[in-house]
């Protein structure tokens, strides 16, 4: 059994648009009503996946969900007088942010030695609450091998669960047992706290985690109020490194101490607010980076190009590289279409530590499959969606056709 980290990126769906549906997500609110470019967005996502494969990392994919979601619209008795936000919700391509698809506990951490996945209920935002049934179907297919995986339904509603975006794992190496850190919000000031403490606790119990190897940590309400609607906007972990903003957690020192006590190999790389303010960290998405260990062994931070546009962030990264910390390289990627909806490189991927041979190969990527995906996107994905196009029946039909073309290219028609 060779356990490794596999990043499952969401393919950006053909209905990608900016409807401003997420209160507390500043980028999405700022870009509400802008024209979107689904074809460019999907190509940017595939280019990011390719870049990671070129580093020698295993790459997986998750498919866009059926949109517009007719089942949802029907349940909401939607007609022409329906609130435009509900119609836009049914068109949302938000499942591209697979960090919110599920919480994943790798096999070395669990009682039964299987990798456990709990699909996220995403109940805090109406447009995201419709995702889980179709996401669950997909996870059950990709991780159908029940000798190695246990896929769970969602935590019951009221207890908001946003999946891996509020979950970090610290370990000496991916295949070793790890410390799982669940970050919940109690208050977000003017904005909602999306991850409920009880949801995190339910997930940890369902996954059969050893209570000595779990921490529940409160996200700093000031971070939520500043626009960090998920913890992965202000912190990210990879193997023994926690890369975090100084103001990410309510109890900063207590959190670091508890992490070091339970995972002695842990190292904290903290960015002080004096160097990069919370606002600048959220604007640039410095922490919504992919922190990865390629086979070369030197840790790399994959940041959005907005980090290069920010002087304080870019200066901080140069100083970091000049020092002798554990993060040795920085790679810049262009995911601007997703970023404009508040989704950086880390939002676009779900990390699973597993043996790739135990996963349905249709969900694993290689470069010829990436070529084929690019062709489908170029041929079928709409070039542009203007706000007034949302709800248009001809466009709806072409979005459905585009998704079907991708499903048949990837031999996944059972997701139709």
What residues are annotated to the active site?
162, 230, 347
Residues 6+ apart with CB under 8 A from 189: 221, 222, 224, 225
Choose which of 13, 14, 20, 38 interacts with ligand SUG (CB under 6 A): 20
SS (HEC) of 74-140 = HHCCCCCCCCHHHHHHHHCCHHHCHHHCEEEECHHHECCCCEEEEECCCCCCHHHHCCHHHHHHHHH
- Pick the piece of the chain touching ligand SUG (CB under 6 A) from 89-97, 234-242, 246-254, 318-326: 89-97
Based on the shown chain and the rule CB under 6 A, indicate whether residue 128 belongs to the binding site for ligand SUG: yes
- Pick the piece of the chain touching ligand SUG (CB under 6 A) from 41-49, 111-119, 228-236, 320-328: 228-236
Angle between helices 367-380 and 38-54 (to 10 degrees): 170
Q: Which residues of 54-93 are buried (b: 16+ CB within 10 A; e: fewer)?
A: ebebbbbbbbbbbbbbeebbeebebeeeeeeebbbbbbbb
Position of tokens 């971070």?
223
Q: Which is nearer to ligand SUG, 92 or 121 (CB)?
A: 92
User: Which residues, numbered 145-184, are part of the site for ligand SUG (CB under 6 A)?
Assistant: 165
Q: How far is the CB of 212 from ligand SUG (least distance, A)?
A: 28
Residues 6+ apart with CB under 8 A from 51: 302, 331, 333
Q: How far is the CB of 29 from ligand SUG (least distance, A)?
A: 8
Choose which of 60, 106, 185, 343 interacts with ligand SUG (CB under 6 A): 343
Q: Which residues pair with 219 in a beta bridge?
A: 249
Q: Which is nearer to ligand SUG, 233 or 301 (CB)?
A: 233
Q: Which is nearer to ligand SUG, 19 or 301 (CB)?
A: 19
Based on the shown chain and the rule CB under 6 A, indicate whether residue 25 belongs to the binding site for ligand SUG: yes
Q: Which is nearer to ligand SUG, 84 or 361 (CB)?
A: 84
Q: Which is nearer to ligand SUG, 68 or 343 (CB)?
A: 343
- Pick the piece of the chain touching ligand SUG (CB under 6 A) from 18-26, 52-60, 219-227, 393-401: 18-26
Based on the shown chain and the rule CB under 6 A, indicate whether residue 304 belongs to the binding site for ligand SUG: no
Based on the shown chain and the rule CB under 6 A, indicate whether residue 283 belongs to the binding site for ligand SUG: no
User: Which residues, numbered 27-66, are part of the site for ligand SUG (CB under 6 A)?
Assistant: 28
Based on the shown chain and the rule CB under 6 A, indicate whether residue 100 belongs to the binding site for ligand SUG: yes
Based on the shown chain and the rule CB under 6 A, indicate whether residue 230 belongs to the binding site for ligand SUG: yes
Q: Are 277 and 247 in contact (CB under 8 A)?
A: no
Choose which of 155, 233, 320, 412 interacts with ligand SUG (CB under 6 A): 233
Length of the chain: 416
Choose which of 45, 154, 185, 342 interacts with ligand SUG (CB under 6 A): 342
Position of tokens 């410095």?
286
C-alpha span between 76 and 79 (Å, rounded): 9
Q: How far is the CB of 198 from ligand SUG (least distance, A)?
A: 20
Based on the shown chain and the rule CB under 6 A, indicate whether residue 119 belongs to the binding site for ligand SUG: no
Distances in whole angstroms, Cα of residue 208 to Cα of each of 201, 214, 259: 11, 11, 20
Based on the shown chain and the rule CB under 6 A, indicate whether residue 109 belongs to the binding site for ligand SUG: no
Q: Which is nearer to ligand SUG, 97 or 380 (CB)?
A: 97
Binding-site size, ligand SUG (CB under 6 A) = 23
Q: Are 240 and 216 in contact (CB under 8 A)?
A: no
* Residues of the shown chain interacting with ligand SUG in the complex, contacts defined by CB under 6 A: 18-22, 25, 28, 92, 94, 97, 99-100, 125, 128, 165, 229-230, 232-233, 341-343, 347
């Amino acid at each position: 059994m060779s356990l490794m980290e596999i990043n499952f990126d969401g393919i950006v769906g053909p209905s990608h648009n900016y409807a401003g549906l997420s209160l507390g997500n500043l980028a999405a609110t700022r870009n509400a009503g802008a024209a979107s470019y689904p074809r460019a967005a999907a190509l940017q996502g595939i280019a990011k996946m390719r870049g990671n494969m070129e580093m020698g990392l295993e790459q997986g994919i998750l498919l866009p969900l059926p949109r517009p979601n007719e089942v949802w619209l029907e349940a909401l008795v939607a007609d022409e007088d329906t609130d435009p936000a509900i119609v836009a919700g049914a068109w949302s391509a938000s499942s591209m942010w697979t960090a919110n698809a599920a919480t994943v506990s790798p096999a070395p951490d669990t009682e039964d030695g299987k990798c456990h996945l709990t699909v996220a209920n995403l109940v805090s935002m109406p447009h995201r609450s419709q995702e889980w049934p179709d996401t669950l179907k997909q996870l059950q297919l990709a991780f159908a091998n029940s000798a190695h995986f246990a896929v769970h339904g969602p935590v019951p509603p009221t207890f908001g669960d946003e999946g891996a975006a509020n979950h970090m794992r610290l370990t000496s190496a991916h295949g070793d047992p790890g410390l799982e850190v669940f970050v919940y919000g109690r208050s977000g000031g003017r904005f909602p706290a999306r991850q409920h403490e009880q949801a995190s606790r339910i997930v940890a119990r369902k996954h059969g985690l050893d209570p000595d190897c779990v921490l529940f940590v409160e996200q700093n309400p000031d971070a939520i109020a500043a626009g960090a609607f998920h913890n992965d906007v202000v912190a990210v972990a990879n193997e023994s490194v926690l890369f975090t903003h100084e103001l990410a957690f309510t109890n900063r020192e207590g959190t670091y101490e508890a992490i070091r006590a339970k995972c002695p190999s842990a190292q904290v790389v903290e960015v002080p607010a004096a160097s990069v303010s919370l606002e600048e960290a959220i604007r640039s998405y410095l922490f919504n980076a992919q922190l990865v260990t390629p086979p070369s062994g030197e840790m790399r931070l994959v940041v959005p190009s907005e980090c290069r546009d920010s002087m304080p962030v870019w200066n901080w990264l140069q100083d970091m590289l000049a020092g002798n910390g554990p993060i040795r390289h920085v790679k810049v990627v262009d995911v601007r279409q997703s970023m404009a909806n508040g989704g950086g490189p880390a939002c676009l991927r779900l990390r699973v530590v597993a043996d790739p041979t135990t996963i349905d190969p249709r969900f694993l990527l290689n470069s010829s499959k990436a070529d084929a995906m690019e062709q489908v996107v170029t041929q079928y994905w709409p070039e542009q969606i203007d706000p007034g196009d949302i709800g248009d029946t001809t466009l709806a039909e072409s979005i459905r056709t585009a998704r079907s073309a991708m499903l048949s290219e990837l031999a996944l028609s059972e997701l139709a």
